[in-house]
Amino acid sequence: MSSTLESPSLITPSDDEASAPVRPLTVALAGNPNAGKTTLFNALTGLRQKVGNYPGVTVERKEGTWALAPHLPPARLIDLPGLYSLDAASIDEQIARDVITGRIPDLPAPDVIVAVVDATNFERNLYLVTQLLEYGRPLVVALTMIDLAEKRKIEIDEKALAEALGATAVPVVVTQHIGFDALAEAVLNASEASAKGAGWRLSEMAEQELAALCGNNGSSVDRRRALRELYAEELPEEAGRRDATERARERLSKSNPKWWQEPLLARYDWIEQVAAKAVRSKAAPGLTTTERIDRILTHKFIGPLILIVVMLLVFQTIFSWASLPMDLIDQGFGKLGEAVGNLLEPGLLRDLLVDGIIAGVGGVLVFLPQILLLFFFIAILEDTGYMARAAFLMDRLMRGVGLHGKAFMPLLSSFACAIPGIMATRTIENPKDRLATIMIAPFMSCSARLPVYTLMIGAFFSGKMIFGFLSIGALLIMAMYLLGIFVAIGVAWVLKRTILKAPTPPLVLEMPPYRVPNLLTILQMMLSRATLFMKRAGTVILAISIILWALATFPRMDKAAGPAADGAQAASEPAGGPAGAEPEGEVDTHGEQLRQSYAGRAGRFIEPAIKPLGFDWKMGVALISSFAARETLVSTLSIIYNVGDGGDSESDSLVGAVREAKRDDGAPAWTPLVALSMMVFFVLAMQCMSTVAIVRRETNSWRWPLFMIAYMTVLAYVASFITYQGGRLLGFS
């Protein structure tokens, strides 16, 4: 074990105020999952890390600065994943433990640890505190959820608590900024004092053995080390200590076969004593509000029904509320395109700006209102605690196929985006369970699919209702989400029985209490997601739009040569088609130009493969580009239909262009069945390079991401094939 832990080397102002530059303090926030660490971190640093009412939200170390006092450099404040004890098993817990214990190479061990303790869950939270105290770092306790504790008539006497713990305890109410100054002061004081250490003692015999292992001086540093070595799973490496420790263990086991449980029991005993001194609970017996609500929401039959109704309501609301702002943005981009078009001379530059950039980026930006609304609802469902109930409802189903219960939260995050979802699998201890979850996370319909679903529904299913109030669009979207979920469960079933066989441990899913959602948290989540979306539109989508426009515009067709008659022959011609076809109208020149462009050739190259799915070569172009990022389907179709018809289509909206698009034989390119087939393809295909990169990073190999691309694409193809061909057999077109 590293010895850096034991060498406090603080340079605080009191050391040498006049000359030495003052090193900023490093302060780490440690505590149980869902105790409110990130909420506190955000308030102290002004940053906006993700907060949510369920355990396991933070899975990385995050850093910010915290202005402790005006005359001092701000402290480095570190937010950590939650952990129940320092005996960390999963990756996120290991990250937290390594920071706390100073095992991260470039990061000094924290000068002060702020133990974040949920006042409503006092005794359980205190277990970690006992372990932190054992580490001998200066420690301050921040009591959170004081407002909730008060409501439940739990009173904590912070003076008595501080006395019992041997460390300052500060109640904080983040929403009202109460307790921040006191916390800063306590941290500064703690950094200058030496830590008191843990207050509990073992049995007489064990204490004697410890004293013997400590050697002559018996300092507290040596005692901690001896304690760790005596009760660790492995023996110390140093030969002398190894023998001594082994013999001590033998002696202890003779007098008490369960000798190794002693520290655990001693800690619990001590916690009980501390709680007896500091906590007064006047909680009335009987069910709490949370328990009463849960009786209904997690009911075997009513629970799932409510979940479905909630999902439907969310989608329906997203659609109806978003439609007006979306129309406005759409018209705005239409006007912008017209204005730019009128301003510039006809030519390549005008085409690039109007058909490439404005059509491409604008086509995607139109969906901003929907993204905002989606995250508004996700944030509300998360922050109230309802999402954890949804996890509970799905748990039986997931356990049935051998998925770890902890897989649910990562899968849930994947509905926003697979990237944070895959990162969140760090909470799963077993590597095989973790891999299985990573492999299915991209099936969850992420927000990038929403524009695709919306376009398809807007073109063919909008405004249709059943029973007079249920919109078909909302039903279809829910069906797409459910399709992703059920395919994921099926794939997990197969994976867990073949390449990722491993027993699934029982789940201890911790139900957070219901809380009134925090408006600020919700706004922050919407804002950060909207920023991400706009950034993507301004970078990835912009770049792809320009490339696509170029690929759809070059090689330029030699106007004099006229349009080509034969596609296959044209494809082999470098530029310009052979003459000899019947001359056609002006609009078709544009169409012909597109056909012969690089993009057109690529689309026609894959057309035979995608024809059985109902797609033509123009959709093929969009399909190819969407493998970089799903939303590009929308921007690519905008560009293609703009370039393809010279930008003078009857309707300027993409929905109109999709409805009007024709196949080469003049039949409508899109039908409701084609749209459905496209949606099914997008539910299942692995079309996101960022996800591939994250899977590569998290699994540390290329094997898994490549496997993921392959099997998901095959599944998507098969499902889309069945949808289209099956639909035709049933008589749909």
Ligand X SMILES: Nc1nc2c(ncn2[C@@H]2O[C@H](COP(=O)(O)OP(=O)(O)OP(=O)(O)O)[C@@H](O)[C@H]2O)c(=O)[nH]1
Closest distance to ligand X from the beta carbon of 56 (Å)? 5
Q: Using CB distances below 5 to 8 A depending on partner kind, what does residue 355 bind out of Mg ion, ligand X, none?
A: none
Q: Does 414 bind Mg ion (CB under 5 A)?
A: no
Q: Using CB distances below 5 to 8 A depending on partner kind, what does residue 185 bind out of ligand X, Mg ion, none?
A: none
Closest distance to ligand X from the beta carbon of 77 (Å)? 13
Closest distance to ligand X from the beta carbon of 512 (Å)? 7
Of 112, 111, 115, 122, the C-alpha closest to 146 is 122
Q: Using CB distances below 5 to 8 A depending on partner kind, what does residue 363 bind out of ligand X, Mg ion, none?
A: none
Q: Which is nearer to ligand X, 86 or 685 (CB)?
A: 86
Instruction: Write the CA distances from 471 to 455, 475, 478, 659, integer angstroms.
Output: 15, 6, 11, 20
Instruction: Write the CA distances from 510 to 194, 271, 385, 564, integer angstroms.
Output: 36, 21, 11, 66
Which residues from 447-476 bind Mg ion, rule CB under 5 A? none
Q: Does 45 bind Mg ion (CB under 5 A)?
A: no
Q: Which is nearer to ligand X, 53 or 553 (CB)?
A: 53
Closest distance to Mg ion from the beta carbon of 56 (Å)? 9
Closest distance to ligand X from the beta carbon of 88 (Å)? 13
**Contact at 8 Å (CB) between 243 and 200?**
no
Of 625, 654, 3, the C-alpha closest to 337 is 654
Closest distance to ligand X from the beta carbon of 410 (Å)? 12
Q: Which is nearer to ligand X, 176 or 572 (CB)?
A: 176
- Cα–Cα distance for residue pair 177/202, rounded to 1 Å: 40
Q: Which is nearer to Mg ion, 50 or 618 (CB)?
A: 50
Q: Using CB distances below 5 to 8 A depending on partner kind, what does residue 492 bind out of ligand X, Mg ion, none?
A: none
Which residues from 322-381 bind Mg ion, rule CB under 5 A? none
Q: Using CB distances below 5 to 8 A depending on partner kind, what does residue 591 bind out of Mg ion, ligand X, none?
A: none
Closest distance to ligand X from the beta carbon of 116 (Å)? 6
Paired strand residues for 115: 30, 141
Q: Which is nearer to Mg ion, 47 or 310 (CB)?
A: 47
SS (H, E, C) 97-149: HHHHCCCCCCCCCCCEEEEEEEHHHHHHHHHHHHHHHHCCCCEEEEEECHHHH
Give Cα 240 distance to the centre of its chain.
48
Q: Which is nearer to ligand X, 143 or 639 (CB)?
A: 143
- Cα–Cα distance for residue pair 605/299, rounded to 1 Å: 53
Can you tell me which of 32, 45, 58, 125 binds Mg ion, judged by CB under 5 A? 58
- Cα–Cα distance for residue pair 263/462, rounded to 1 Å: 65
Q: Using CB distances below 5 to 8 A depending on partner kind, what does residue 144 bind out of Mg ion, ligand X, none?
A: ligand X
Sign of CA dihedral 578, 581, 583, 586: negative
Closest distance to ligand X from the beta carbon of 30 (Å)? 10
Closest distance to Mg ion from the beta carbon of 409 (Å)? 12
Q: Using CB distances below 5 to 8 A depending on partner kind, what does residue 173 bind out of ligand X, Mg ion, none?
A: ligand X
Phi, psi torsion values for 564, nearest 5 degrees: -80, 155
Do you find a cis peptide bond into 555, omega within 30 degrees of 0? Answer: yes
Q: Does 34 bind Mg ion (CB under 5 A)?
A: no
Closest distance to ligand X from the beta carbon of 188 (Å)? 23
Which residues from 699-718 bind Mg ion, rule CB under 5 A? none
- Cα–Cα distance for residue pair 576/723, rounded to 1 Å: 38
Q: Using CB distances below 5 to 8 A depending on partner kind, what does residue 174 bind out of Mg ion, ligand X, none?
A: ligand X
Q: Which is nearer to ligand X, 386 or 682 (CB)?
A: 386
Of 176, 168, 177, the C-alpha closest to 142 is 168
Report the run of H or E that residue 700 belongs to, with start and end: none
Closest distance to ligand X from the beta carbon of 230 (Å)? 31
Q: Which is nearer to ligand X, 95 or 372 (CB)?
A: 95
- Cα–Cα distance for residue pair 179/170, rounded to 1 Å: 7
Place of tokens 């990038």: 448
- Cα–Cα distance for residue pair 252/246, rounded to 1 Å: 10
Query: Which stretch in 34-42, 114-122, 215-223, 314-322 sits in contact with Mg ion by CB under 5 A?
Result: 34-42
Paired strand residues for 662: 668
- Residue 487 corresponds to which amino acid? V
Closest distance to ligand X from the beta carbon of 169 (Å)? 15
Q: Does 114 bind Mg ion (CB under 5 A)?
A: no
Closest distance to Mg ion from the beta carbon of 58 (Å)? 3
Query: Which stretch in 29-37, 195-203, 299-307, 521-529 sits in contact with Mg ion by CB under 5 A?
Result: 29-37
Comparing every residue's Cβ against ligand X, the nearest one is 82
- Return the biggest CA–CA distance within the chain: 104
DSSP annotation of 175: G
Closest distance to ligand X from the beta carbon of 521 (Å)? 5
Q: Using CB distances below 5 to 8 A depending on partner kind, what does residue 699 bind out of Mg ion, ligand X, none?
A: none
Crossing angle for the helix pair 617-625 and 672-684, to the nearest 10 degrees: 20
Closest distance to Mg ion from the beta carbon of 623 (Å)? 39
Q: Does 35 bind Mg ion (CB under 5 A)?
A: no
Q: Using CB distances below 5 to 8 A depending on partner kind, what does residue 458 bind out of Mg ion, ligand X, none?
A: none
SS (H, E, C) 328-369: HHHHHHHHHHHHHHHHCCCCHHHHHHHHHHHHHHHHHHCCHH
**Burial call 481-491: b when 16+ CB within 10 Å, e when fewer:** bebbbebbbeb
**Contact at 8 Å (CB) between 549 and 206?**
no
Q: Can you give the binding site for ligand X, defined by CB under 6 A?
A: 31, 33-39, 51-53, 55-58, 81-82, 144-145, 147-148, 173-174, 383, 515, 518, 521
Q: Which is nearer to ligand X, 53 or 545 (CB)?
A: 53
Instruction: Write the CA distances from 221 to 130, 134, 136, 708, integer angstroms.
Output: 16, 10, 8, 50
Q: Using CB distances below 5 to 8 A depending on partner kind, what does residue 55 bind out of Mg ion, ligand X, none?
A: ligand X
Q: Which is nearer to Mg ion, 358 or 422 (CB)?
A: 422
Q: Which is nearer to ligand X, 120 or 553 (CB)?
A: 120
Q: Which is nearer to ligand X, 115 or 359 (CB)?
A: 115
Crossing angle for the helix pair 472-497 and 449-460, to the nearest 10 degrees: 140
Q: Which is nearer to Mg ion, 30 or 500 (CB)?
A: 30
Query: Which stretch in 58-66, 487-495, 596-604, 662-670 sits in contact with Mg ion by CB under 5 A?
Result: 58-66
Can you tell me which of 26, 32, 38, 626 binds Mg ion, judged by CB under 5 A? 38
Say how many C-beta atoms besides its own lie within 10 A of residue 236's C-beta: 20
User: Per DSSP, which regions of 616-719 are E strands?
Assistant: none
Q: Which is nearer to ligand X, 51 or 354 (CB)?
A: 51
Q: Which is nearer to Mg ion, 33 or 577 (CB)?
A: 33
**Contact at 8 Å (CB) between 363 and 637?**
yes
Summarize as ranges the residues that interact with Mg ion (CB under 5 A): 37-38, 57-58
